[in-house]
Amino acid sequence: MSKHCVQRTEAALQAIAAAGDEGARIFVKVYTASARAEAAAADARAAAGISLSPIDGRIVSIKDLFDVSGEPTTAGSKVLRTAPPAQQDAVIVQRLRCAGAVIIGKTNMTEFAFSGIGINPHYGTPGNAKDASRIPGGSSSGAGVAVARGMCEIAIGSDTGGSIRIPSALNGVTGFKPTQARVTREGALPLSYSLDTVGPLANDVLDCAKTDAVLAGQKWEPLIVRSVDGLRVGIPRGLLFTHADEQVLKAFESALGQLTASGIKAVDADLDHLLGAPFKLQENGTLIACEAAQIHQELFANGTDDQLDELVKARITRGQTVAASHYVSVQQARAKLQPQLDAAIADFDVLLLPTVPVVAPTIQSLDDAAEFNRTNMLVLRNPSVFNFYDLPAASIPLPRSQGELPVGLMVVGKRGADRDLLALAQAISASL
């Protein structure tokens, strides 16, 4: 970092303050005093030649569903404002502090992380970083906007069906969803025990990789330098390329052409029977809705559910009526399908596809509940498949001309091979 941490922290705090009401929609809490103290401490360490981690002195925001000691964890909800304060920091927050990160604040999110759009009627909706009249993408809405607008260098989000990758794609930043077991969720308010993951959003793959090592509690080792030349890449054309904006497909094909010219071997992979299975299986109820209904049952029992975002409440309510036998059969099917997809993609280094099939629509265009639900299902479609199959996946921004809206490229790897995926995503990003 060329500038001292104190200078960079002041610039980030200034960016939040200068955004006025919009800054308050992006961040639900700003830790001005402690961030300044942490920045000064980081500069003192740097002057003494001490580094605690690869992200020592980096400015980090955390999503509003991670516990911070002494304050209630509101998770984008009005009803949790009066919740008892957290007894201790979430484990990943402890790891960030031990790593010397400057925690600048808590970013806004969809209530309970239950939508890919990013609209929040309680704390306001952060506008997209490229055009504030458009959606930020969710559920880590403030996270994607904060990185893109220079209000932090790294944001920590959660991803249950795309909640890191969608805001990354729609705001033009990089996001990484790990294999679920890689990063502890202790001290994070859950949405789905089966599908929740924790990961970073940042300006490039390298910052995501460094942050991921800290979140995973691993010693940082530089990524192996990979070349795109000779990479075997599967393109899952079919279902996940349907209902796509022309400009998304154009950006994807143009990037693919560029990568092919650099030596990647792209193969159209017919995987629709496997990639479509999560949707077919869950037509009568999703794992997320069932688990969210159990997680939030107390709110409904004590009658405070009338304070929820109506759209979020409707999705939780659906989960309350799903038969236990259906839930169990989806879990059993998932366990059988995972090794089948593993086998089907074994010969590829990665899969490549658009992260989200559309560019960010306007907030106003989603006022109608039916249009909101249709768009929500569409933006979640591509990323959610890889939560179901528990594969690590990154979204990297595709090259765009001045004035064009951001488009993300999703790079999907093998379960547990998270660092391999990050190394490949870095190579692909560099060659674009």
Reported as a single tens digit per residue, the pLDDT across 60-69 is 999 999 999 9
Does pLDDT of 1 surpass 90? no
Least Cα distance to 282 among 351, 211, 195 occurs for 195
Measuring CA to CA, how many Å separate 56 from each of 3, 43, 315, 320?
A: 14, 9, 40, 44
Going along the chain from its start, the domains and CATH numbers come out as 5-215 (3.90.1300.10), 232-279+327-431 (3.90.1300.10), 285-320 (no CATH)
Choose the catalytic residue: 53, 63, 77, 194: 63
Residue 204 has pLDDT above 80, yes or no: yes
Q: Is residue 254 scored above 70 in pLDDT?
A: yes
In the set 77, 115, 140, 163, the catalytic residue is: 163
From 161, 180, 193, 375, select the one nearest 293 (Cα to Cα). Answer: 193
How confident is the model over 55-93, as pLDDT tens digits? 999 999 999 999 999 999 999 999 999 999 999 999 999
Tens-place pLDDT, residues 306-342: 999 999 999 999 999 999 999 999 999 999 999 999 9
Describe the strand order of the beta sheet including 154-159 as a list of residue ranges.
Answer: 27-30, 102-107, 59-63, 154-159, 197-202, 174-177, 393-397, 408-412, 350-354, 232-235, 265-268
* 139 assigned to active site: yes
pLDDT tens digits, one per residue of 129-173: 999 999 999 999 999 999 999 999 999 999 999 999 999 999 999
Contact 167, 63 (CB under 8 A): no
Residues 6 or more apart whose CB falls under 8 angstroms from that of 418 comprise 178, 179, 182, 212, 216, 392
The catalytically annotated residue of 115, 139, 384, 395 is 139
State percent of the chain over pLDDT 70. 100
Tens of pLDDT, residues 371-423: 999 999 999 999 999 999 999 999 999 999 999 999 999 999 999 999 999 99
Mean pLDDT value of segment 346-370 = 98
**319's tokens:** 């989960």
The mean pLDDT value for 23-41 works out to 98
Tell me, yes or no, if 219 is annotated catalytic: no
**Report field, pTM of the whole predicted structure over 0.75:** yes
Asked if 163 is an active-site residue, the reply is yes
pLDDT score, position 3: 86
Coil, strand, or helix at residue 129?
coil
Q: Is residue 2's pLDDT more than 90?
A: no
Pairing of the two strands 59-63 and 197-202: unpaired
352-361 mean pLDDT: 98
pLDDT at 255: 98
For residue 282, pLDDT beyond 90: yes
